[in-house]
Amino acid sequence: MKLLTLLTKASLLGLAFTSTAFAASAPSIELLNSIKTGDKKGTEIISIQTINARAAISNSIEGIIDIYSLATPSKPSLTQRITLGLAKGEQITSVAFHPTYNYVLAAIQASSPTANGRVEIRDANTGKILHIVDSGIGPDAVVIDPTGQFALIPNEGEEFILNREKKTYSSAVGSLTLIKLDEDSSKITATQIPLSEITDTAGFVKAKHHRFLERGIDWNNDGEITEDPIDLNGNGKIDKEKVVVGTFHGVEIKAKEKNGELFMFPILNNKPDVLEPEYVAFSNDGSKAWVVLQENNGVITVDTKTASISSAFGLGITSHESDLDDDDVIDFNAQLIALREPDGITLSKDGKYLVTADEGDTEPKASKTKDGPAGGGRTVSVFDAATGELLGDTGNQIDIMVNEAGFYPESRSDNKGSEPEMVTSFTLNGENYIAAGLERANGVALISLADPKHPLVVSVAPIDKTAKAGKVGPEGIAHFYDHKNKQHYIYTANEKNSSISTFRVNVK
């Protein structure tokens, strides 16, 4: 067993002590159980219909949607399995339960990286297809506004395509699909919203940051992407030096043969073909939506009435002390400077604050970043929903408290740490709280927004302390309030071991 040593500065000890002291009177989060779905992997997104105490959970590998009853919230029970019958290469990426109607929406990616996907509206009891809406390329999520009027689909368009003759690359173009919902599925309509180049917007990624997108390219044209060493220039050997494999936006792309068909593409601008919409948060009345552009480190605002993009704001850089080395020593003394690059976003229940889970996605990893900021803040950040102004973030609290609880993923220190993935919001005793899934730490963090300029991590809980970093992999997260027993629950859909975890929020 590896010996892990904790080295912290006095300032960090002070921060940890403050969190611990506050937590003595603050709510805490407790794991009640984890339920295996019966699948090996792929349980990914969870969406809850509160009015009927039901949850829809998608499995991206099996192509299914499971419906669970939350009649006994501490013990979800499977009531229906919907098999989508997807074609080879197609994949369900997300699911959303309508807040009142008896249907779910499923986002489905096409088998071709350049083809549009679709959204299937299915009866939640029978699984019958009620309606199909075309989306853009690579629909990555589907989110319904609290009133049930609209659904918004961020079409990520993240794949790069090689022109073999010209040795040039193009990127699939991202977009948004806005769906106007109705109880009568025949009245459902959709509008495709194109993306425009974002220029001179503070806080977005820029060429000077030296960030790259790692993407798989089928260089051998065999229908698969290999990470094994490959002879890219045909000289009969595996070169140590980078090899030129073509151009993108007029810039030479160089690849390491030892990395196989994983190529690095520089982010030089924020043109439509490199904008990658990731996830969505809606205003409480459904009139506005905010869409995270993870790899671009920004957010765009959508006016649902006009089905148009109204504004954009950048998410900027965070800086705090972290462990940046995978060396069997837990040492929060190195200075992390990083673009936030959030995956998840949510709106506080009072509608005042946007909250992001700053997972990170660009390369190189923190320990290899020499020029400019790293990718992934390891934080949960709070922004003014009206202005987009940054109010505060959690700094290194998540990693420190996870370490104190005994489940810090030290092997991920050189990359993105505990890796906050998705967030969900709720109110408790009149105050805003956030629950964040920690993908690599295999756990959940509970965060108080009592002071939005200083969000405070009050509790963390592991799903499985014995699991290696990311081997549980909480992806989707959702909150449920049991009105009968006046109890708050948090659920996670765990992608890597196909389980559903139930947490209870305990009030002291």
- Each residue's pLDDT expressed in tens, for the chain with a length of 508 residues: 333 434 433 333 334 334 455 556 899 999 999 999 988 999 999 999 999 999 999 999 999 999 999 999 999 999 999 999 999 999 999 999 999 999 999 999 999 989 999 999 999 999 999 999 999 999 999 999 999 999 999 999 999 999 999 999 999 999 999 999 999 999 999 999 999 999 999 999 999 999 999 999 999 999 999 999 999 999 999 999 999 999 999 999 999 999 999 999 999 999 999 999 999 999 999 999 999 999 999 999 999 999 999 999 999 999 999 999 999 999 999 999 999 999 999 999 999 999 999 999 999 999 999 888 999 999 999 999 999 999 999 999 999 999 999 999 999 999 999 999 999 999 999 999 999 999 999 999 999 999 999 999 999 999 999 999 999 999 999 999 999 999 999 999 999 999 999 999 999 8
Can you list the positions of beta strands (E) in 84-149?
Answer: 91-97, 103-109, 116-123, 129-137, 143-144
Full-model pTM: 0.95
The first and second tokens of residue 382, run together, are 């709070």
pLDDT on residue 270: 97
d(CA 17, CA 380): 19
- What's the confidence (pLDDT) of residue 22? 56
CA distance 193 to 302: 9
Residue 205 has phi, psi (to 5 degrees) of -65, 145
pLDDT of residue 371: 81
Q: 5-7 and 329-331: which strand pairing?
A: parallel
394-413: b (≥16 Cβ within 10 Å) or e:
bbbbbbbbbbebebbbbebb
Give the separation between CA 60 and CA 66, rounded to whole angstroms. Answer: 12
| pLDDT of amino acid 251 | 96
CA dist., res. 181 & res. 196, Å (int): 26
Give the whole-angstrom CA distance, residue 39 versus residue 78.
13
Count CA within 13 A, CB hemisphere, residue 391. Answer: 22
The per-residue pLDDT for 13 is 38
210 in Cβ contact with 275 (< 8 Å):
no
Residue 464 is encoded by which pair of tokens?
């499985």
pLDDT of residue 9: 38
